Amino acid sequence: MNMKPAGTLVLTRRDVAALLTIDDCTSAVERAFKMHGEGKTQPPGVLGVHAADGGFHIKAGILDLDRPYFAAKVNANFPQNSTRFGLPLIQGVIVLCDADNGYPLAVMDSIEITIQRTGAATAVAARYLARPDSQTLTICGCGNQGRVSFRALHNLFPFKEVFAFDLDHAQAKTFASDLSGETTAKVIPTLELEEAIQRSDVIVTCTPAKQFFLKEAWVRPGTFIAAVGADSEEKQELEPTLLSRGKVVVDILEQAATIGELHHSIDRGLMTKNDVRGELGEIVAGRKSGRSSPDEVVIFDSTGMALQDVIVAAAVYEKAVSSGLGQLIHFGG
Amino acid sequence: MNMKPAGTLVLTRRDVAALLTIDDCTSAVERAFKMHGEGKTQPPGVLGVHAADGGFHIKAGILDLDRPYFAAKVNANFPQNSTRFGLPLIQGVIVLCDADNGYPLAVMDSIEITIQRTGAATAVAARYLARPDSQTLTICGCGNQGRVSFRALHNLFPFKEVFAFDLDHAQAKTFASDLSGETTAKVIPTLELEEAIQRSDVIVTCTPAKQFFLKEAWVRPGTFIAAVGADSEEKQELEPTLLSRGKVVVDILEQAATIGELHHSIDRGLMTKNDVRGELGEIVAGRKSGRSSPDEVVIFDSTGMALQDVIVAAAVYEKAVSSGLGQLIHFGG
């Protein structure tokens, strides 16, 4: 039943972080992928606006959950923000609405949700595409996304070693010391990326790299790679031949073919969209098979799907309402 | 100079209404059209998402004003809201950001800005396209947009008579009694649309009509018509032959050809995009001529331009900052 809403809930990043656990987030994101794979969603929309030193990206979509929700995420991406303004690289808000009547239910900070829903997609993909007996993980890029990826993954696999790699080695060391207490695995900061990759069963790349650094020759059979960093045309982390050698699963085919790792392999004539095994949602929904042998290299090309934002924003909102967190604003008043 | 911002200003509809005058709004909107016409803007973006009983529309753009601003407007449009939920037909928020670094400067209710910036565009168009000696005005549709259109126009022309027409005649009567005190003109509620149109120099159509009601034969030479209602494929207010007989000016050509009155005339094979005299911005910027004779029927096809929202949201924000209105939220905090 729809009641006339009491107002719009304003939730800060701190509120969102207090309400969201990575495991809840992973369950929610898996559900969104499943609905997408079952054809129960309409195609989400994206819109980009270029600015002088960065850009704005809007992702919007609707999901029919226990009630129908619409969310639009407005994210700003300004690469030089830290040095120029002391501001984060990515900033933004999500507007969550009741999709029955359009009422703006909440306006919330987008950063925590963006980071966590991305880590959650990595975990969902790994659950379906990595070898269950995976023992070694390498995280490339030890920022927030690296941390969340680790937290989303470490309970899913019997990891014994986790390599932490970052061009800024101090970051890798901090990562290792911060996260060692959260896992029984050994977390090892490393400068020897080639060696770490050669020993890894699961690899997450979540850097801002614009030239690939993960070489095909380093990757052993059976590895699962979540390629998370590339979410715009000019970003790239994986050698293009690595994708054509392995099996590629994407979050959204059109998007991956335009702004993901996939587009570099297509540009070089190494692959076409037909060479992609499928969308993650199709695999979660059981419409396509995931890993077909323990020797396959499987790559998940993660570009970010609006429906991830919708479902996680809805979960945060519902938790905020039931726990009384956030501030109520009467926008129309 | 950019300073690290103190927070994000949250502005309700009441705040926005207190800060915005239609005359300031008209000046701001004229500036946005001029910049657009001078080629000093990049094409704004639009994105639509369908819902079961309505839809969501996002308009986003950047303007280099005294400082660069980005705004994204997220509007919900649910036609049965009033009867089903006791909620407004249109609801939404505008996210205003610093386009130098992406910081979300403000989140504000969008309704007042949507209504006023639309009325302001009507006024700008009328100033360039209506006969300066226009004496009779007809407003078709006596809701909020009708009121704002009247307020935006009545100081610009020596109107003696204003006809107020609405299918709901009680609305027309309330309109007349409410607005009579604001003008020296006689405000007359009428059921005789044909007669009113035949006597009019300026006509504003701002109804939710899906079939045209303004007939070509009723319109006398020299009339200016602002066609405001049609902003989606299925809406229509003007007989298509009226556009092909007159001179058509649009806010954005691509948009008018897709969702404005223009698209009905194109669909019927009566016009092509090449028959359009130009965009309002080109006329404001002096790149194209407006009215070329006192006998021309000139039609402004108004579909709503993201840059109108950007410039008005920026003006509201600057006024809010200087007057201390609104509530500061630390989204990232």
Percent of chain B with pLDDT over 90: 93
Closest partner CB to A72 (pick from B12, B58, B109): B58
With CA atoms as reference, the chain B residue closest to A13 would be B332
B12 and A111 within 8 Å at the Cβ level: the answer is: no
Q: Does B9 touch chain A (CB under 8 A)?
A: no
What ipTM did this prediction achieve? 0.91
C-alpha distances (whole Å) from B103 to each of A54, A91, B61, B69, B284 are 12, 7, 15, 10, 32
Q: What is the pLDDT of residue A42?
A: 87
Amino acid (1-letter code) at residue B191: L
Question: Sorting pLDDT into bands at 50, 70 and 90, what band is B5?
Answer: confident
* Chain B residues touching A51 at Cβ < 8 A: 62, 68, 70, 99-100, 102
With CA atoms as reference, the chain A residue closest to B63 would be A51
Please state, in angstroms and rounded to a whole number, the distance separating the CA atoms of residues A105 and A72: 12
Q: What is the mean pLDDT of residues B290-302?
A: 96
Burial (Cβ within 10 Å: 0-12, 13-18, ≥19) of residue B216: middle
Question: Sorting pLDDT into bands at 50, 70 and 90, what band is B333?
Answer: low
A94-144: per-residue pLDDT in tens? 999 999 999 999 999 999 999 999 999 999 999 999 999 999 999 999 999
Per-residue pLDDT tens digits of chain A, which is 333 residues long: 445 678 999 999 999 999 999 999 999 999 999 999 999 998 888 899 999 999 999 999 999 999 999 999 999 999 899 899 999 989 999 999 999 999 999 999 999 999 999 999 999 999 999 999 999 999 999 999 999 999 999 989 999 999 999 999 999 999 999 999 999 999 999 999 999 999 999 999 999 999 999 999 999 999 999 999 988 888 999 999 999 999 999 999 999 999 999 999 999 999 999 999 999 999 999 999 999 999 999 999 999 999 999 999 999 999 999 999 999 999 986
Burial (Cβ within 10 Å: 0-12, 13-18, ≥19) of residue B276: buried
CA A143 to chain B, closest CA, distance in angstroms equals 17
B58 and A56 within 8 Å at the Cβ level: the answer is: no
Please state, in angstroms and rounded to a whole number, the distance separating the CA atoms of residues A233 and A221: 28
Count of pairs with CB atoms under 8 A, one residue in A, one in B: 194
CA B270 to chain A, closest CA, distance in angstroms equals 33
Q: Does A325 touch chain B (CB under 8 A)?
A: no
B332 and A47 within 8 Å at the Cβ level: the answer is: no
CA B328 to chain A, closest CA, distance in angstroms equals 11
Closest partner CB to B107 (pick from A50, A70, A107): A107
Closest partner CB to A70 (pick from B51, B88, B111): B51
Q: What is the pLDDT of residue A4?
A: 65
Q: Does B172 touch chain A (CB under 8 A)?
A: no
A72 and B60 within 8 Å at the Cβ level: the answer is: no
Please state, in angstroms and rounded to a whole number, the distance separating the CA atoms of residues B307 and B283: 16
B76 and A97 within 8 Å at the Cβ level: the answer is: yes
B165-190: per-residue pLDDT in tens? 999 999 999 999 999 999 999 999 99
A102 and B44 within 8 Å at the Cβ level: the answer is: no
Closest partner CB to B91 (pick from A54, A56, A103): A103
pTM over 0.80: yes
Q: Does B83 touch chain A (CB under 8 A)?
A: no
Question: How confident is the prediction for chain B on average, in pLDDT?
Answer: 95
Residue B128 half-sphere exposure toward CB, CA atoms < 13 A: 29
DSSP for A57-87 reads EEEEEEEESSSEEEEEEEEEE-TTHHHHHS-
* Chain B residues touching A70 at Cβ < 8 A: 49, 51, 56, 76
Q: What is the pLDDT of residue B231?
A: 82
Q: Which of B73, B235, B247, B319 is catalytic?
A: B73
Q: Does B76 touch chain A (CB under 8 A)?
A: yes
Closest partner CB to A333 (pick from B12, B70, B87): B12
Q: Which of A4, A40, A59, A73 is catalytic?
A: A73
A73 is known as an active-site residue: yes
Please state, in angstroms and rounded to a whole number, the distance separating the CA atoms of residues A320 and A16: 8
A93 and B104 within 8 Å at the Cβ level: the answer is: yes
Q: What is the pLDDT of residue A230?
A: 86
Which pairs with CB-CB distance under 8 Å and at least 24 residues apart come from B110-114?
A: B110/B73, B110/B74, B110/B75, B110/B309, B111/A332, B111/B13, B112/B13, B112/B16, B112/B17, B112/B20, B113/B16, B113/B20, B113/B73, B113/B309, B113/B312, B113/B313, B113/B316, B114/B73, B114/B75, B114/B90, B114/B304, B114/B309
